[in-house]
Chains A and B, each alone.
Chain A
Amino acid sequence: MNYKTIQSTCPYCGCGCGVYLEVVDEHLVGTMPVINHPISHGGLCIKGWAAHEFVESEDRIRRPLWKRGANLETTDWNSALYMVSERLQAIKQMYGPDSIGFLSSAKCTNEENYLFMKFARSVVGTNNLDHCARLCHAPTVAGLAKAFGSGAMTNSVPELEKASCILITGSNTTENHPMIASRIIKAREKGAFVIVIDPRRIHIANHSDLFIQPRLGTDVAWINGMMNMIFLEGWHNRKFIEERTEGFEELERVFSKYTPEKVREITGIEPDLLKQAARVYAQSPASAIVYTMGITEHITGTDNVMSLANLAMLTGQIGKRGSGINPLRGQNNVQGACDMGALPDVFTGYQKVLDPEAHYKFEKAWGTNLPTEPGLTVVEMIDAAAAGDLKALYVMGENPMLSDPDINHVREGLSNLELLVVQDLFINQTAELADVVFPAQSFAEKAGTVTSTDRRIQRIRKAIDGVGQARTDWEIICELAGLMGAKGFDYKTPIEIFEEIRSLTPSYAGITYSRLDSEELQWPCPTEDHPGTEFLHEGKFTRGLGSFTPVEWRPPAEVPDEEYPYFLTTGRVHFHYHTGTMSRRSPTLNREMASAVADINPLDAEDLGISERDMVRVSSRRGEVKIRARLTQTVPKGTIFIPFNFQESAANALTNSDRDAISKIPEFKVCAVKVEKAAARR
């Protein structure tokens, strides 16, 4: 008889809530909230409460698999590892290292992302390394880095309670970052003015002081319009602009064109409402902006982010407690995966591949020659695979077959590869196409660190032994590296890996496992006596002066026309998580929502003769899905919403893979579709 509780961090979203895993006789039986946790203080959302449910699922891959004929068959670890190492070496020899690509994972630990990165760069010798942050916050990293010199959330989650105005845009906060919504609600109880600007009437709009509903894909226009109003009314922060920023004149030239009338024409927003938002945001003592994919997943994603940065700098609403710009990161460790350099152009801590000093530092530390040119992004890798230039792809804990735009194209790319290696917990749509599948361990079976959305590094701890023959991702990488003759992969524990990370990463240098046991630490934390950083850019931006970048509004790549008369926008739902590989194996979550529904405005439904729960066919130029309709006022007339969490009605069969020129993010949030009632089905 044995009962114990292990403290860990929730494996779902980027909030980073604290969980206790309850273990009875070596089985995971429950999850409980950590009472005095800085983020979740004793609460959890439904996903957090169910965090243990998928771990010991029947569907877990328990043995390595490889493709024999058309089927995946079980094999043993040695054969599988040997085969992958041989094939990778052969492909590298024949086509060069850049014929191999790596997709890292925002679900794996920092240690694993670091090792995967090290493996790609030092063992294989390519910078073709990316992960799904490309599909959510690449514009944030690009846009905020340009404006401030750092692409992370500027404030911390608990600090939101200290804000006096919170502007939420493009974030369905209650559904997707529930524990952050909890803070916002509490801030409002304490008197903060909450503004929601979103094309959909999302839940948190009911708990706001001002709700504004712009047309889809018009963010740059309303932000410019808001800046124009602020400037004309003299609500801007002259001192801040003079002392801490550069490039204001050009900015003014651009935003001054966005008169209230012009903005109304583009966005549909009434000038009075926008003005009210502008006034409160600019004049409140501490205003915070909170945003997510509604801002980034556009061809103008980076523009949108830079516009928000402009707005914050114009009003001096950044670099103070409770005030700044807060992109909420989606996955539990997407911040960490970026920090660890699982990106084509940077090493850990955003040290640039192109920077000779950084390059030298890593070559020296790892004792190898490293590639010098930035590599391909995830979408480019898929294109290269389809074109036959990329021959092998190694996917750790990702599911591009569901998360990437235009999945028919993804399938084509992946099928074209000579070698597809997938390392995951479950057979997902990507693993089905794999040549080799390594069974990996979940968060409950291993130790390590993850970095949540507010730059907070937290530990996950081993609660039970690995399911079946599954191994941790870092062990698999180490073994493979060893087989390929690489030196420097003989770690015994995650601590050893972490020590190497912090020796190479200034912003993590002061963080140790033992400090994490008793302290809350947010990077940058340069030395062991540094307390970590609650909010960024106090007194000085990371890059020195903040940089204004004027941006003009551009319409989305695809807008409704006669043939495809409706806007489609995609997103997530509260009860599931990302591509659903974990959450859909959780009985609690599946009971709440077993299949996808498309949200349709009742007025559109009436035009189309669709009633509640009817099956409808939604099609775009790229594909079609069949899905049940739900009539709701959440979506405005003319717009359909489909969550992308469900494989059988994959929204990404419809979405457009046109990309933002700078960050390469695809435009998930807008495309044009047509909707028809499907044949009745009982």
Chain B
Amino acid sequence: MTEEVRDNREEQAREIAGRLLTEGNVDGVLALLHVMDHVVPHLFTSREELAHLNISGHYPVAGVAERLLRRWDNNGRIAVIARGCDERHLIELAKKKSVNLDRIKIVGLACTVDEAKDCHCVRPFPTEVEVGRSVGKVDYLDHFALGELIRMDIAERRKFWTQIFDRCIKCYGCRNVCPLCNCEDCRLEEARWVRVGEIPPEYPSFHLIRAVHLADKCVGCFACERACPMGIPLGKLHQLIRDYLQSVYGYEAGRDPDERSPIQIDVGIGPDVLQGLRRGGED
């Protein structure tokens, strides 16, 4: 049954992509391509290639879209076949001014129940579904594991996280794979924040600086956790932080490009503060 839905989605996606390519209002369609026994992100630019368009697989394509558009400066407009999380990534990237949503046509792809379960997803659909059928709001979070983390007292958590962070090999995979970890100058790379050339990386800076930076941006895609070779449950840590912002401010990242993060620095203040600093502390 699931198979049936899947096949159907692929055809739908191909059809939409084909239409977009011929109608000529995009330069390419970013989606997944089936080659041999693998599925890889690919920019489809001709109808002929579409026979191999695939929709399975979990590559966070928003990051690719952002990098491509940046490389091509102000030219170009692409379509992205985007799952719910991909769309939320794009929305957060737009808030960061990293992408201009006018240059992206989002083709919403709904995930199947199995896919949603795989990702521990709560919102396996984009705002507008064009491919597949939304399975609605679900809750496949790993509540058992999350509960364990919550139940522990501070000392137990300390033991748990220091042990587990100590495994880290500083591959930067969690950062590289996350579309929202796209700062030009990453503090995790700067020696004054995290000592360089050491594994495990400096505790707690490496992991907590990233946690703080992503706190109000993370859309809960779990890509970081999947990319971590050392089995560090980063996605779960982020989920707990997301829960905090949800419960205190009712805020959820990735919902709406016009919604502001509750903990964002007020831009009205920023320049003043900075000016003060530049004047070297004089009035």
Contacts and interface: CB of A to CB of B under 8 A. Distances in A.
A29 B226 contact: no
Contacts, number: 112
Contacts of B200: 203
Contacts of B189: 591
A24 B27 CA distance: 14
Contacts of A203: 199-200
A46 B173 CA distance: 8
Contact of A7 (B36, B167, B227): B36
A36 interface: yes
B253 interface: no
Contact of B59 (A24, A35, A574): A35
Interface stretch (A96-104, A173-181, A211-219, A270-278): A173-181
Contacts of A29: 67, 71
B173 A20 contact: no
Contacts of B234: none
Nearest to A189: B231
6 contacts: A25-B71, A34-B38, A49-B171, A203-B200, A518-B36, A591-B196
Interface string A2-39: 11110100000000000010101100011011111000
A203 B35 CA distance: 38
A79 to B, nearest CB: 39
A44 B38 contact: no
A186 B231 contact: yes
B129 interface: no
Highest count of chain A CB atoms <10 Å: which of B35, B189, B199 = B199
B172 interface: yes
Interface of A: 1-5, 7, 20, 22, 24-25, 29-30, 32-36, 40, 42-46, 48-49, 174-175, 178-179, 181-182, 185-186, 189, 203, 206-207, 517-518, 573-575, 588, 591-593, 597
A575 to B, nearest CB: 6
Contact of B36 (A25, A206, A517): A517
Nearest to A182: B229
Contact of B169 (A2, A34, A45): A45
A24 B42 CA distance: 10
Contacts of A25: 71
Contacts of A44: 171, 173, 229
Contacts of A40: 229
B59 A32 contact: yes
Nearest to A27: B71
CB-CB nearest 5 A-B residue pairs: A43-B229, A3-B43, A593-B197, A5-B40, A182-B229
B57 interface: yes
A207 B167 contact: yes
Contact of B199 (A3, A43, A174, A588): A174
Contacts of A36: 38
A591 B188 CA distance: 11
B130 interface: no
Contacts of A573: 197
Given A3-B42, A40-B229, A182-B231, 5 more contacts: A33-B177, A35-B226, A45-B171, A179-B229, A574-B170
A24 B176 contact: no
B28 interface: yes
A1 B72 contact: yes
B75 to A, nearest CB: 8
Contact of B171 (A5, A43, A517): A43
Contact of A3 (B37, B68, B173): B68
Contacts of B204: none
A207 B200 CA distance: 12
Given A35-B57, A203-B200, A574-B199, A46 B169 contact: yes
A35 B58 contact: yes
Interface in B21-63: 27-28, 30, 33, 35-43, 45, 57-59
B41 A178 contact: no
B230 interface: yes
A1 B197 contact: no
B136 interface: no
A45 B229 contact: yes
B166 interface: yes
B172 A46 contact: yes
Nearest to A175: B199
Contacts of B72: 1
Contacts of B176: 49
Interface string B142-167: 00000000000000000000000011
Given A5-B40, A42-B226, A181 B169 contact: yes
B104 to A, nearest CB: 14
B196 A592 contact: yes
A369 B70 CA distance: 60
A637 B226 CA distance: 40
A43 B40 contact: no
B228 interface: yes
A543 to B, nearest CB: 36
Contacts of A517: 36-37
A29 B64 CA distance: 11
A185 B230 contact: yes
A517 to B, nearest CB: 4
Nearest to A183: B229
B228 A4 contact: no
Nearest to A31: B176
A577 B57 CA distance: 32
Interface string B226-262: 1111110000000000000000000000000000000
A6 B282 CA distance: 57
B226 to A, nearest CB: 6
Given A44-B229, A593-B196, A33 B166 contact: no
Contacts of A588: 172
B276 interface: no
Highest count of chain B CB atoms <10 Å: which of A25, A42, A48 = A42
A182 B230 contact: yes
Nearest to B75: A1
A631 B199 CA distance: 15
Contacts of B42: 3-5
Contacts of A48: 171
A592 B197 contact: yes
Contacts of B167: 185, 207
Contacts of A24: 67-68, 71
A175 B167 CA distance: 11
A33 to B, nearest CB: 6
Contacts of B173: 33, 43-44, 49
B216 to A, nearest CB: 26
B193 to A, nearest CB: 13
B35 A7 contact: yes
A518 B59 CA distance: 20
B63 to A, nearest CB: 9
Nearest to B41: A5
A111 B136 CA distance: 53
B45 A1 contact: yes
Contacts of B58: 35
A25 B169 CA distance: 32
A207 B166 contact: yes
Contact of A42 (B40, B227, B230): B227
Interface in B190-209: 196-197, 199-200
Given A3-B28, A29-B67, A593-B197, A518 B171 contact: no
A206 B43 contact: no
Contacts of B38: 7, 34, 36
Highest count of chain A CB atoms <10 Å: which of B59, B64, B76, B169 = B169
Contact of A46 (B43, B71, B170, B230): B170
A653 B91 CA distance: 56
Contacts of A575: 197
B171 A4 contact: no
A36 B166 CA distance: 26
Nearest to B57: A35
A395 to B, nearest CB: 30
A139 to B, nearest CB: 28
B231 A185 contact: yes
